[in-house]
Every structure is written in C-alpha cells, then in structure tokens.
Structure 1
Amino acid sequence: MYKIENLSFKYEKDKYALKDINMDFSKGDIIGVIGENGCGKSTLFMNMTGILKPNSGEIRYNDEKIKYGKKDLYNLRKKVGIVFQDPEKQIFYSKVYDDIAFTMRNIGMNEEDIKKRVEKALEAVNGSEFIDKPVQFLSYGQKKRVAIASVIAMQNETVLLDEPTSGLDPRSTDAVVDIIKNMKKNGTKVVISSHDMDLIYEICDYVYVMNKGEIIKAGNPDDVFMDEKMIKNAGLKTPWIIKIYNELKNNELKNGETKEETNLKTIKTKFAQYK
C-alpha cells in the first residue's frame, strides 16, 4: 500500500500544488481524500501513479520507492489502477468489450483469459448488457461503470477513484457505491477523491482533508467531520447524519428532556434500521 513522505509538487516555479504531504494509506481499506476544487486531489493522484513526478519527498508502494523508468511505471500500473473523473478521458475504443480489453491486450494476455476478465468485470459493475454496445450509445453513468470495469478487469491491488459519483443520478450513484463496497470485499484497496461528503462518511474508514495543497486534518470519519470549523474552512459541507447528531445534541442540551445525550452510535443504528 501507499506511504507518502514530505511530498511537494509545483506546476509553477514559485507556487506549490502540493506541499509537504504525509499520508499512510494502510490506515484503512477505503481511504477518502477530500477538499474543495483546486486543493490538489487530482494532482496527488497523478503523482501516486507516476503521471507526474514530485519536486521533493517520496512515494512508496509496498515499501518500495516509486521509480520513473518506463518498466518501473509499467509494473506499478499493473498493481494500481486509476479511474478519472471524466470517463471520456480513459475510454478510447468504440465498443465496450474492446475498450476494457485494451490494457490486457497491451500486456500480452491471451484472448481467452481476456474474455473471462471482461465478462467478470462487467458483471461486477452490473453492466453485462453493455459488452457489445458502442460506447457512444451509453449514458454518462454507464460510461463511468465501464471505466471502473476496465480497472476491475486488471485485478489491481489498489484503485484510485477521482470523483466516482460526480454527475451521476441517485440510482447510478448507488450502483457505484455498491461497486466500491464489493471491491473492498474482494480485497482491493480503494482511495476515493470526492466532493460528496455523505458518500465519504458512509463508505470510508479513514479520511484526509486537503486545503491549498496541504493536509489539514486526518482521522476516522467521525473525528474529521465533527470538526465543523475545519470542515467549513476547507470549503466542505458536513454530512447530513452529523448535522442531525449536532441538532439533536443541541436540542437536548437546551430542553433537558433526557438524562443522557444521544450519541452518534445510536443515530447510526437508527439510520441503518431505516435503510
């Protein structure tokens, strides 16, 4: 898994896009990276996959420092997959099957194994009916699922998802959430960048908050999102379940109707029962 130490990166000579970043992705199975637009999330992901090279610091994967030779990056990308925010940026072929098969063909896999992996990957994203469809006939949400299927087919150890639910309707969002949860069940480490704080709170077990290229908070979702001032300063919204908790807590403190303050665990239980 990834470990990042004192990472800094500049697009411009005197302006940091990332500054002194330290992260340990072994702290959870689904890691959230959050922050407003321009905070450095996508730049971080491109550094993690070797698309960009840091100005200082280092990135380690499975305790080995990332190297930038062609063969080294090739081996890294067999272990780490990335799904960009815009699926159009990683869908190159006119038919779904050929697009998902592309990377596997590129590394010399035989067609029989490729076919099995494509079918299994599409099944994982509930998209088996797309297999022979032209990509241009798919909806935006369906294209996102195909992009994720391309990564699943590679059987990566780690998957980076950049805004996986951006632009999706509620049904498509639910489908992507199920896909992410199944990745975790199958032993894949997932790192998610998102503006959807309810999604991050629901599925992540560790969260990093970025602001202006720096990490300003890290911890489990409860610890992070209970820091309302920090969340506001980072340009983010509080998940609705935390808002409810705070409202109930404040109401009880005012009217004294109960002897014990309703805690977050109780609200989570009630929410799970409701769902």
Structure 2
Amino acid sequence: MLLPLLEFRSVCYTYPGTEYPAVRDINLAIAAGQKTVILGHNGCGKSTLLFLADGLYRCDSGAIYWQGEPLKYQARMLNLWRQRIGLAFQDPEQQLVAATVAEDISYGLCNLPLSEAEIARRLHQTLLDFSLQELADRPLHHLSLGQKRRVALAGVMALQPELLLLDEPTAYLDRRQTRHLFEELDRIQASGTTIVIATHDLDLAYAWADWAIVLHEGRLMHSSPAPDLFGCADLLEELQLGLPTLLECWYALPPAYRDRRSPPRTLSELRSYCL
C-alpha cells in the first residue's frame, strides 16, 4: 500500500494569545496525484492547515508526515521540507520580495544549492511556462494583481515542489484571470505535481476537485472523494455548505430529466446532455 504524500496525525494548533485551537485533532492524508480541495467557512482553519503543512507554524501536539517521515523543525530540515512543498499565499503581495519579476522568481532558486547555470536555466524555463518573458524586467509594483499572482505562483513552481498548496487562489481575480489560473494548474498537475486548494468557493471545488475535505471550527468534518460529497445534497446542507450553482440548477430540473444521468460538473457537460 502506498504511503500518503502528506499526513496529519492528531494535529492541534492554537494561535498565541487566543483561547481556542485554530485546528484541533486533525487526522487526514493527502494522496499523490489527487486534486484536493479544503472547504469551509471563513475562520474554519483552512489557512492554518496549509501553514502547518508548509512548516510555517509548529504543531502544539500531533505530527505531520511526508511519505512516512515526520516533519522536524530544525532549519536544515525545514528547508528540505519546503523544497518538496510549495505554498502560494492568498495575497500574492505577501510573497513577492524582489524588485522585478525575474529577480523575484530567482530569489528562491538562489537559496538552493544550485549552480548559476542551473538557476539561469530554471528561471528561463519558468518564464516560458508562465508566459512571463515579456514581463521579466518589469518592476513588481507595475503589475496587475492577476499578474502578481502569476509571478508568485511561478516563484513557487521554480523550486519544483512535489506538492503545491494554494490559499484562496481565486481571491481578487476576475473570471478571465480565474480561467487562466486553472489552465496553469491543470498544466502543473499534469506534469506530476499534486495540488491542494483551500477555498470557500463551492463552484470552483465542484468543477475541479477529485477529493474534498471539510473543516468547521477547526475540526475535520468530512474527507472523501469529491463526487461522494457533492452527490449528497443532504450532506452538503448538514455541513452548512449549501450547493454549487450548477448542482442547484440541476436539482431544480424535473426528476424525469435527471434520471439515469450523473450530475454535470461543468457547463459543457450540461450542454452535452441537451444534444
């Protein structure tokens, strides 16, 4: 049996100066290759879980494992850990540290034991992969928010992590920018990187995820294949998530129309039913 890529065992964490844990007694596993979504209302612990996974916060109790090996909080081990796991923050401006696009993407590479030739090669390839060649020398403060998010993601992926964590990746993006972002994520996932997204956007989760995790007030309420969660309207209501828009429209159709058909996950799939 394959070990999970990342595993939480009885993990608890309380922010300094607060009374109640932000996450409590979390047990869950992230499998390699799956597109995993972490759902829940604001303040449920989604971001905290990602920060713990990346080693930015230290568990108060419990432990986090990478393919069976526990996270150790010594500086050298944390550097190795973060080469495997990349984290893109909700606000890209918190992640951009250099003056220009190329300098920012190079920043993380320069902290790795790489030759100048390898740094240059990875920078060039990353600029190509994320269509940033024309922006390479552009000052970061001249970029739009959507461009900044792309640069922040490029900087993470230049390190070639095996697991990519994204915190509310569609925040501040319009529909076109969101579509482009998920085209990038599909490419990243197809290249072998496992992706986990924390979001409260049910429509995004419904269309995208293979596996769904639900948090509520810091507790793990649900973890299953995404179709199992979204295939049960009563469970979604019980978890106080509501219904994705497309699924709500689907259930509004006459039962005779829905018989013998699986609920569509995209508009194009719904259109195919109408042909």
Give the TM-score of the pair, scaled to structure 1. Answer: 0.90
CA deviation profile, 1:236-275 (whole Å, cap 9, x unmatched): 3422221122122xx22xxxx56x715225x358733749
- 1:1-275 maps to which residues of 2 (within 5 A)? 1-11=5-15, 12=17, 14-26=19-31, 29-232=34-237, 234-248=239-253, 251-252=254-255, 261-264=259-262, 267-268=264-265, 271-272=268-269, 274=271
Aligned residues: 267
Contact 2:6 2:65 in 1 (8 A): yes
Identical amino acids, percent of aligned pairs: 31
Aligned counterparts of 1:235 and 1:269: Cα–Cα separation in 2: 23
Contact 1:28 1:205 in 2 (8 A): no
Greater displacement, 117-126 / 38-47? 117-126
Structure 1 unaligned spans of 5+: none
Q: Name the aligned partner's letter for residue 47 of structure 1.
A: L
Aligned counterparts of 2:83 and 2:237: Cα–Cα separation in 1: 38
Q: Name the aligned partner's letter for residue 127 of structure 1.
A: L
RMSD of aligned alpha carbons? 2.1
CA deviation profile, 1:41-90 (whole Å, cap 9, x unmatched): 11111111111111111110111010101111011011111000000111
Deviation at 1:98, TM superposition (A): 0.4
Structure 2 unaligned spans of 5+: none
Deviation at 1:31, TM superposition (A): 0.8
Give the TM-score of the pair, scaled to structure 2. Answer: 0.90
Contact 2:246 2:266 in 1 (8 A): no
Dislocated runs of 4+, deviation >6 Å: none
Between Structure 1 and Structure 2, the one with more helix by share is 1
